Structure 1
Amino acid sequence: MFLIAAGIALQFAIYVVLLVLFSQYFVYFYWICVLVSLVMALFISTWKSKLAYKIAWIIPILLVPLIGGVMFIILGGARDPHYHREETRRTLKRQLPSRLSTTDLMRYGPDAMQQAWYLGHAALCPAYTNTETAYFSSGASFFPNFLEELEQAKDYIFLEYFIIAEGSMWSDVLDILTRKAAQGVDVRVIYDGVGSAATLPINYPDQLHARGILCRVFQPLLPVLSIHQNNRDHRKICVIDGVTGFVSGLNMADEYIDRKERFGYWKDNALRLRGEAVWSLTVFFLTMWDHQNPRSDFRLFRPRTLPPLNTTGGIVVPYTDTPNPADTVCADLHLQMITKAKRYLYLTTPYLAIDETITSALCTAARSGVDVRIMPPHIPDKKVVFAVTQSNYPVLLEAGARIYEFTPGFIHSKTVVADDLYASVGSCNLDYRSFYLQFENGVWLCGDPAVLSVRDDFLQTLEVCQEITLADCRTLPLFRRLLQSIYRLFAPLF
């Protein structure tokens, strides 16, 4: 809504200026803009994307024909980013061959086999068994172990995060990175150019280089029109010597570990991997590093040995997704986990801006007797996006799903757990941006002890949540309910 309002205001100002300066030509100019907008709307209608996403853009383009197309180019039209997909897929095929047979995958049933098969063959993210996991239910519990693991690095440390912010958390990490770099450890950092634009100075890569740390900024924010600024690196990956790795919902900033209060208590999580599956995280990082740099020799980063592991035979699948329209890994995986749930399905997400496919799947699961529970925040970080989140409540509640807002503050965890059998932990929100516009990553688990840890975390967190009922939604003023309907229409834009 803000984008549309801003577009209308800007268009009106431009109209006034043009009317004064070129009054005799204004009518012709206006109809040329309308014609261009109609052509662009027709182009979008043939675009390979979700129908709701296309409709959400066609409306503002037709309402504000003068600049609607420019808004789309900057904020919505970049489903084909600066990303060498075929070359990357060749690298994944070469570096990440399938390791488990169909018999291995069938041990947990045909539903588990199908999910693992999809990740291994469509997403080129193979399954592993010889991997130890540890789940951290908060940033505060994660961080001490994270620092301990960084201290153990002997060969390399790879960090890739959407946001890095100068402060207490990053200072502790940076001290270790600097010391390790001085010891000869290969230390590399990737951060997103938009996610960290307000938290780091523009010359920060030079500052890290002075410490012996290699750094790359993913698509730096530029003050020019660009169709690629909308595709961001939202991944959260840490790799240490190819032996230990972390995936999480949290970034490198103080609020994620409760050293700084923002929006009440900040609830986040992380998952540590140790063993064979960490090689996938290593490959993910190096392919992103090669995204804008010379090609890496992957052989140099293969761990020589693995430490003794306490594994139970569960399946661990690190996965990644891209903004390319041919890659919808996060959306597809969420859809599979929803449709294959038999007893319960618990989800945590900071944002709930879902398309009709996911909405329909959640509603169908609830109507089929699955205990569907969704946990968004009670205190939002973005009020407009929170309004979009709440606009999805009525249709889900009517179908029998249950919604619990996290009352102590802002929940930033992104988890799915079902039937004591499957779980996913990672960077992907339940929204259009994560599903279709950003680079994301996570870990799918099956039969692994961490699955029960994710479940227990959800159930314990329920104790401090407020359940939202259909009666709560229906008592809202008519104006707010009308706004919610509009928000749902434009949900893909947020």
Structure 2
Amino acid sequence: MKRILRYYVNKKEVEREYNVIPFRYILAILITVFEVAAIIGILVALCYYVPYFYVLCWITETACVINIIASDDNPDYKVPWLLFVMILPVAGFMLYFIFYSRKLKRKYVRRLKALKDNAYHKNDGELIEKLRRENPVAASQAKMLCYIAEAHLFADTRQTYFPLGEDMHLQILSDLHKAERFIYMEYFIIEEGKFWNSILDILKEKAAAGVDVKIVYDDVGCMVTLPGDYCKTLKSYGIDATPFSRLKGNADSEFNNRSHRKISVIDGKVGYTGGINLADEYINEFEKHGHWKDTGIRLEGEAVWEMTKLFLIDFGINVKRMPDMKAEMFPEQKDIREEGYIIPFGDGPHPLYKRRVGKSVIQNMLNGATRYVYMTTPYLIIDNDLCLSIENAALRGVEVRIIVPHIPDKKLVFGMTRSFYKRLMDAGVHIYEYKPGFIHAKSYLADDEYAMIGTINLDYRSLVHHFENGVWMYRCESIGDLKHDMEATFEKSIRVTPDVCKTNLIQRFIRAVVRIFAPML
């Protein structure tokens, strides 16, 4: 079901169709609320009517508090859960049991292991040693990232940097036309419009010609952009499609752990990622929050293997029949000769990833920088640990610059972003707001040598809860293009002054309360 949205661009009224929330999603949410309310209601009734049952609840609550305190989780994540458990009798510890951590079924674990085992295999020892002879620090960072992300180090990979979504749009259409074997695409948001429809026309044509076309889109990310049964529409075109973590109304973490990844792979030879979703605002086809600034990167070479693996794992854990991982999905490309080292990698929630991968990459860049670190992010809602890393870099004399939007997409989140300004600025961090509109890019650059481009924002949703992906680069040609673009973006941005940080008592109180529960949002 669709509705008409009317808005103004340069005083001109524009109409746009959008999907309302399909009934399937509403039903799933209502079932979840009912399940949680029923469970809590039954326990409250037992405490009231069954003698001494409340003693058992008190012991359980105490055990939950001890378990939270003793866990290895970030203290910023522990505090809101401790408040819930201690302040809300019965309901607090039941919410803890239901939502605190992602629960993995044995079947899910077995399938995940099988998909990883059947993917490509690569020995990084020789390449790591070559990098160590060039730069021991870079080699140690690469080795750690490969270990915690279960990824691999690559060289001889051609890169193309895109400073805007519309630049990537033109190139990806060209590459899709050349597909011969398979096209794999995974995105947090897909929305019908010029961007997606131009891609879909090619996908339908390729599927009809026998090319293996697979699509993964996040079920929550596309809740209001696609019909609830859109995968059936795609399947009618010969496209093998599935929503990521389809909402079924289960009282667990299915609402929380979404796929925020953006991956396109063509024949295992060309791969795309970055912050760009497949919707028209990302190519500035229409103005949603001013000018939409986003970035992307195209890889050509054997580093694309890792992106193929990530996609097939995400696809495989969301369909009934696991996809076959064949050798031809990971073709050798010995004819490409490029400078630099690259690690495409994935990140995600516990227990699938035992370490915070994206956060570790960013902290390594901050800790190793000697001259500057530039970062762009649409949101700035970070834990104390990452905040200290940013401050310490600035206090060492490293020029740390962060660009965030000037026109927000969510006012409450923007208020939380601004609540970090004063602390960071007091340590010498330079903060900029992108004046023309909304910056959605997730780009990180240090000392002309290290860079990371991907889907990872500086907020809890990206750093803790979501499935994410990125590309770590060392001394790659595209790093110069990224720096040039960042310098141009600084020129279009407003340097934040202390006056912006001034707030009234009510604003400070609201931000303080919201920041406590930010890790759970």
Offset of residue 45 of structure 1? 2.2
| Counterpart contact for 2:112–2:317, Cα < 8 Å | no
Q: Which amino acid aligns with 2:200?
A: L
Is 1:488–2:515 an aligned residue pair? yes
Question: Which of 127-136 and 57-66 deviates more?
Answer: 57-66
Structure 2 CA distance, aligned partners of 1:25 and 1:195? 43
Q: Which amino acid aligns with 2:325?
A: F
Is 1:401–2:429 an aligned residue pair? yes
Offset of residue 214 of structure 1? 0.3
Offset of residue 28 of structure 1? 8.8
Offset of residue 424 of structure 1? 0.2
Question: Which of 345-354 and 77-86 deviates more?
Answer: 77-86
Instruction: State the match for 1:187 in structure 2.
Output: 213
2:463 to 435, 438, 442: 435
| Counterpart contact for 1:108–1:447, Cα < 8 Å | no
2:82 to 52, 58, 61: 58
Offset of residue 218 of structure 1? 1.2
- Cα 1:305–1:276 change in 2 (3 A) is closer
Offset of residue 61 of structure 1? 3.5
Cα shift readout 1:321-355 (whole Å, capped 9, x = no counterpart)? 12124132111111111111110000111111111
- Cα 1:409–1:271 change in 2 (3 A) is same
Structure 1 CA distance, aligned partners of 2:325 and 2:481? 33
**Secondary structure of 1:317's match?**
strand
Instruction: State the match for 1:149 in structure 2.
Output: 175
- Cα 1:468–1:140 change in 2 (3 A) is same
Instruction: State the match for 2:292 in structure 1.
Output: 266
Cα shift readout 1:129-158 (whole Å, capped 9, x = no counterpart)? 111000001111110111111111010000
Is 1:448–2:476 an aligned residue pair? yes
TM-score normalised over the length of structure 1? 0.88
RMSD of aligned Cα (Å): 2.9
Is 1:382–2:421 an aligned residue pair? no
**Secondary structure of 1:285's match?**
helix
Structure 1 CA distance, aligned partners of 2:119 and 2:232? 34
Structure 2 CA distance, aligned partners of 1:275 and 1:322? 25
Structure 1 CA distance, aligned partners of 2:97 and 2:436? 39
- Cα 1:478–1:428 change in 2 (3 A) is same
Equivalent pairs counted in the alignment come to 477
Cα shift readout 1:138-184 (whole Å, capped 9, x = no counterpart)? 11111011111111101000001111112221111111100000111
**Secondary structure of 1:490's match?**
helix
TM-score normalised over the length of structure 2? 0.84
Is 1:333–2:361 an aligned residue pair? yes
Is 1:411–2:467 an aligned residue pair? no
Offset of residue 439 of structure 1? 1.1
Offset of residue 39 of structure 1? 4.1
Offset of residue 121 of structure 1? 2.8
Structure 1 CA distance, aligned partners of 2:156 and 2:383? 36
Offset of residue 83 of structure 1? 5.2
Map 1:236-255 to 2 at 5 A: 236-255=262-281
Structure 2 CA distance, aligned partners of 1:260 and 1:176? 22
Structure 1 CA distance, aligned partners of 2:201 and 2:125? 38
Structure 1 CA distance, aligned partners of 2:382 and 2:282? 25
Structure 2 unmatched runs, 5+: 1-33
Question: Which of 356-365 and 121-130 deviates more?
Answer: 121-130
Question: Which of 83-92 and 40-49 deviates more?
Answer: 83-92
Offset of residue 412 of structure 1? 0.7
Instruction: State the match for 2:151 in structure 1.
Output: 125
Structure 1 unmatched runs, 5+: 1-9
2:371 to 316, 336, 343: 343
2:395 to 367, 391, 401: 367
Offset of residue 480 of structure 1? 2.1
Q: Which amino acid aligns with 1:414?
A: K
Offset of residue 90 of structure 1? 5.0
Offset of residue 427 of structure 1? 0.6
Q: Which amino acid aligns with 2:364?
A: Q
Q: Which amino acid aligns with 2:367?
A: T
Q: Which amino acid aligns with 1:485?
A: A
| Counterpart contact for 2:302–2:331, Cα < 8 Å | no
Q: Percent identity?
A: 37
Offset of residue 426 of structure 1? 0.3
**Secondary structure of 1:283's match?**
helix
Structure 2 CA distance, aligned partners of 1:459 and 1:122? 32
**Secondary structure of 1:452's match?**
helix
| Counterpart contact for 1:73–1:227, Cα < 8 Å | no
- Cα 1:350–1:34 change in 2 (3 A) is farther
**Secondary structure of 2:214's match?**
strand
Offset of residue 233 of structure 1? 1.1
Cα shift readout 1:18-62 (whole Å, capped 9, x = no counterpart)? 9xx999869999888776555433332233310110102221333
